[in-house]
Amino acid sequence: MQSEDSPVFGNPCSSHGSGSVVVNECDGDYHHDSRRGVLEWQLPLIDVSNKSGSMEFSAPGRPNDFYPVQVQFVSKTLYCDMRVVNVVSVDDESPVKHSLNTYLIVDKYEVI
For residue 31, the enclosing domain spans 5-111
How does pLDDT run along the chain (112 residues), one tens digit per residue? 344 555 566 665 655 555 688 999 999 999 888 888 888 888 888 777 888 888 898 888 888 888 888 887 777 777 788 888 999 999 999 999 999 888 887 777 777 6
Total structural domains in the chain?
A: 1
Contact status, residue 8 vs residue 45, Cβ threshold 8 Å: no
Output the pTM of the full model.
0.63
Task: Encode the chain in three state secondary structure.
Answer: CCCCEEEEEEEEECCCCCCCCEEEEECCEEEEECCCCEEEEEECCEECCECCCCEEEECCCCHHHHCCEEEEEEECCCCCCCCCCCCECCCCCCECCCCCCCCEECCCCEEC
